[in-house]
Amino acid sequence: MELAKQNTELNTTDTFIQDLTTLNLGPTHPATHGIFQNILQMDGEKIVSGVPTIGYIHRAFEKIAERRNFYQITPLTDRMNYCSSPINNMGWWMTVEKLLGVTVPKRAEYIRVIVMELARIADHLICNSILGVDTGAFSGFLYVFQEREKIYEIYEEICGARLTTNMGRVGGMERDLSPVAIQKIRDFLRDFPKVMQEFETMFNRNRIFVDRVEGVGPITAERALNYGFTGPNLRAAGVDYDVRVMNPYSSYQDFEFEIPVGTKGDTYDRFMVRNEEIWQSLRIIQQAMDNLPEGPFHADAPEYYLPPKQDVYRNMEALIYHFKIVMGEIDAPAGEVYHSVEGGNGELGFYLVSDGGRTPYRLHFRRPCFIYYQAYPEMVVGTQLSDAIVILSSMNVIAGELDA
Amino acid sequence: MAEITNEQLIARLQEKFGDQVFDIQEPYGLVTVTTTRENIIPMLQALYDDEVLQMQFLTTMCGMHFPDNKGQELGVVYHVHSLQNNIRLRIKIFFPEDDAVVPTATNLYATANWMEREAWDFYGIRFEGHPNLIRILNVEEMEVFPMRKEFPLEDQTREDKINTFFGR
């Protein structure tokens, strides 16, 4: 009775009362690919505003790093973007090498390039195939994950680990590419293009898929730059910024490859840019394998690079260096370094301040996810809930990198 | 795309800002300057609008803490990048711990929003004019600023813990 009366009163007024629903998307939600929450204000199916909450897997890496030796920080970088940990590892080693002034031999640089490009393929495969899952196409995901598994087997052959690789050393790699590893990379280069071709055939011009992603969550180049976008998300908006080309590191200037760019910055462009980058990465790996230089796989820097184990038992100097390196008794020169690499999601930067001690005085990670995820509310406003999920997965927000 | 060398950048900075920039260094090839917090926003704006430099990309910014520099304990480091000229610049500001207030850069760069929230969260640097200055990675109830140097990590060699309780 009371309610009916209220309704009558409402109907007598001419104003339309908008009824908003608050929806908690996350923190744990199967479609969010990680633990982050979005409090969405919904008008029916339409999103009116969104407030992201992050920090659910914050592990204080920057603080922990202030009490760790340089080689103990690599495992922390593994756990940032865990879809492409080798890129993080190599980025960190290059930062330390820059600080210490170690020159890396060509062969080690080429091996690093191979590993980093494999990691980029794995990263983009996850992003794009999960985007397929979110739009209802499950088989593409299962299909390319077999290939991702092969990349992980290559990691395993190179460093012994699969997901959190902790790969490399100051001055190079911990061991040379084994014949098995070389064979596995060659097999991958032979078999993967066919799979990728089929994956693209399944999606690129699939009407159902294109209808779901085209024009969804566009961002202009200007806004993207203002939001600090880097990587595939920025290139999808039409800006050809790639750290590998702008500030080449680890011999990237030796390779010929193209930077794909999109035009609209929407979900479809992001998908296509990542697909094309996979092809370009394959090109780079092929070139690196064909021109893999002979020579040492690590720098001749005994004070930073662990000596061979048999020498440690027989050789005084080797024993001393082994002890000093393992106990972290290496005083780094005072100074500050910024080094950035092109991670799976964009410019992954390491800002390292050393006061001459054995640990960093301050270490700041420029994490691309953290920086571009703040544009998410702006991108989802006005779209539907199902589009918000698609935008989220096309941006490839990795919770580990977001929260560090 | 004209490349600008470090010398040209430094000359341009000195011509534009005079003695407002000081302590000019080039550690590992990246031009580093220090300025005062009053100047930081006009300087970022001028670099943004400069028709030669076009430094329009804020790569990252973070807080710093040097407890031994009395009167200048806290700092903020900005890394700006000119994508057109492919040159980076590092700008630092320092200010006392008990007056940790810095003008916000969010009016210029949308990306500064979360970076400033992070600096507030970890170092307690208050950004004047920030639209939503709340903690970002830590819980809202936290009372300390954990990245400051007065909160050291636990000594890994301490022996006063009882193994039964700590599972060691």
ipTM of the complex: 0.91
pLDDT band at A394 (very low <50, low <70, confident <90, very high): very high
Structure tokens of A207? 């009407």
pLDDT at site B3: 76
Name, in order, each residue with C-beta under 8 angstroms of B53's C-beta and a sequence gap of 6 or more: B4, B9, B12, B47, B82, B85, B87
**Is the CB of B115 inside 8 Å of chain A's CB atoms?**
yes
From chain A residues 221-260, the ones with a CB under 8 A of any chain B CB are: 223, 225-228, 239, 241, 246-247
Name, in order, each residue with C-beta under 8 angstroms of A283's C-beta and a sequence gap of 6 or more: A255, A256, A257
Integer CA distances (angstroms), B7 to A207, A265, B2, B13, B46, in order: 54, 36, 14, 10, 19
How far apart are the C-alpha atoms of B166 and B120, rounded to whole Å?
Answer: 32
- Note whether B111 contacts A227, CB cutoff 8 Å: yes
pLDDT tens digits along A275-313: 999 999 999 999 999 999 999 999 998 889 999 999 999
Beta-carbon-side half-sphere exposure of residue A15 (alpha carbons within 13 Å): 4
Distance from CA of A338 to the nearest CA of B (A): 8
pLDDT at site B19: 87
**Is the CB of B32 inside 8 Å of chain A's CB atoms?**
yes
User: CA geometry: angle at A63 spanning A57 and A65, to 5°?
Assistant: 105
pLDDT at site A158: 93
A375 vs B contacts (CB less than 8 Å): 110
pLDDT at site A341: 94
B110 vs A contacts (CB less than 8 Å): 223, 226-228, 374-375
- The DSSP annotation for A349-380 comes to EEEEEE-SSSS-SEEEEE-HHHHHGGGHHHHH
Q: What is the pTM (predicted TM-score) of this model?
A: 0.91
B23 conformational bin, left if phi > 0, alpha if psi -120 to 50, beta if neither: left
Name, in order, each residue with C-beta under 8 angstroms of A404's C-beta and a sequence gap of 6 or more: A58, A59, A61, A62, A80, A365, A367, A370, B137
Mutate: best of A338, A369, A397, partner B, most B CBs <10 A? A338
pLDDT tens digits along A97-135: 999 999 999 999 999 999 999 999 999 999 999 999 989
In chain A, the percentage of residues whose pLDDT exceeds 90 is 74
pLDDT tens digits along A16-58: 666 888 988 878 777 777 788 889 999 888 999 999 999 888 9
- Note whether B137 contacts A362, CB cutoff 8 Å: no
Bridging pattern class, strands B101-103 and B126-128:
parallel
What is the distance in angstroms between the CA of the first residue and the CA of the last residue of chain A? 55
Per-residue pLDDT at B167 exceeds 70: no
Strand partners, A98: none
B1 vs A contacts (CB less than 8 Å): none
pLDDT at site A26: 77
Long-range contacts of A255-264 (CB under 8 A, 24+ apart): A255/A113, A255/A283, A255/A284, A255/A287, A255/A288, A256/A283, A256/A287, A257/A281, A257/A283, A257/A284, A259/A235, A260/A235, A261/A235, A261/A236, A262/A235, A262/A236, A262/A237, A262/A238, A263/A238, A264/A215, A264/A218, A264/A236, A264/A237, A264/A238
How far apart are the C-alpha atoms of A244 and A344, rounded to whole Å?
Answer: 12
- The DSSP annotation for A168-183 comes to -BTTB-SSPPPHHHHH
- Note whether A338 contacts B111, CB cutoff 8 Å: no
- Note whether B110 contacts A375, CB cutoff 8 Å: yes
How far apart are the C-alpha atoms of A7 and A15, rounded to whole Å?
Answer: 13
**Is the CB of A288 inside 8 Å of chain B's CB atoms?**
no
- Note whether A336 contacts B83, CB cutoff 8 Å: no
- Note whether B59 contacts A340, CB cutoff 8 Å: yes
Nearest CB among A225, A335, A404 relative to B57 is that of A225
How far apart are the C-alpha atoms of A54 and B168, rounded to whole Å?
Answer: 32
Distance from CA of B83 to the nearest CA of A (A): 8
**Is the CB of B46 inside 8 Å of chain A's CB atoms?**
no
pLDDT tens digits along B10-35: 999 999 888 888 889 999 989 999 99
The mean pLDDT of B120-126, rounded to a whole number, is 94
Distance from CA of B71 to the nearest CA of A (A): 19
Name, in order, each residue with C-beta under 8 angstroms of A71's C-beta and a sequence gap of 6 or more: A169, A170, A325, A328
Taking one residue from A and the other from B, the number of pairs with CB-CB distance under 8 angstroms is 88
Amino acid symbol at B23? D
Mutate: best of A242, A367, A374, partner B, most B CBs <10 A? A374
Structure tokens of B127? 């950004």
Structure tokens of A361? 């005085």
**Is the CB of B144 inside 8 Å of chain A's CB atoms?**
no
- Note whether B59 contacts A375, CB cutoff 8 Å: no
Nearest CB among B28, B62, B113 relative to A374 is that of B113
pLDDT at site A8: 52
The SS3 assignment for B156 reads coil
Nearest CB among B60, B109, B137 relative to A349 is that of B60
The mean pLDDT of A164-182, rounded to a whole number, is 92
pLDDT at site B158: 67
Nearest CB among A227, A241, A349 relative to B110 is that of A227
pLDDT tens digits along B79-101: 999 998 899 999 999 999 999 99
The mean pLDDT of B105-120, rounded to a whole number, is 94
Nearest CB among B57, B64, B118 relative to A362 is that of B64
From chain A residues 98-127, the ones with a CB under 8 A of any chain B CB are: 98-99
pLDDT at site A9: 54
Q: What is the mean pLDDT of chain A?
A: 90
A49-403: which CATH topology?
Cytochrome-c3 Hydrogenase; chain B (1.10.645)
Dihedral sign, Cα of residue A118, residue A119, residue A120, residue A126: positive
Bridging pattern class, strands A362-366 and A46-53:
unpaired
pLDDT tens digits along A184-238: 999 999 999 999 999 999 999 999 999 999 999 999 999 999 999 999 999 999 9
Per-residue pLDDT at B157 exceeds 70: no
Task: Show me where the domains of chain A are located.
Answer: 49-403
Burial environment of residue A93 by CB neighbours within 10 A (0 to 12, 13 to 18, 19 or more): buried
- Note whether A55 contacts B137, CB cutoff 8 Å: yes
Bridging pattern class, strands A362-366 and B31-35:
unpaired
**Is the CB of A59 inside 8 Å of chain B's CB atoms?**
no
**Is the CB of B43 inside 8 Å of chain A's CB atoms?**
no
Dihedral sign, Cα of residue A221, residue A223, residue A225, residue A227: negative
A349 vs B contacts (CB less than 8 Å): 59-60, 79
A227 vs B contacts (CB less than 8 Å): 110-111
Per-residue pLDDT at A254 exceeds 90: yes
The mean pLDDT of B107-133, rounded to a whole number, is 93
pLDDT at site B18: 87
In chain B, the percentage of residues whose pLDDT exceeds 70 is 91
Amino acid symbol at A58? H
How far apart are the C-alpha atoms of A288 and A304, rounded to whole Å?
Answer: 26
> With contact defined as beta carbons under 8 Å apart, do A81 and A87 qualify?
yes
Amino acid symbol at A186? R
How far apart are the C-alpha atoms of A228 and A386, rounded to whole Å?
Answer: 26
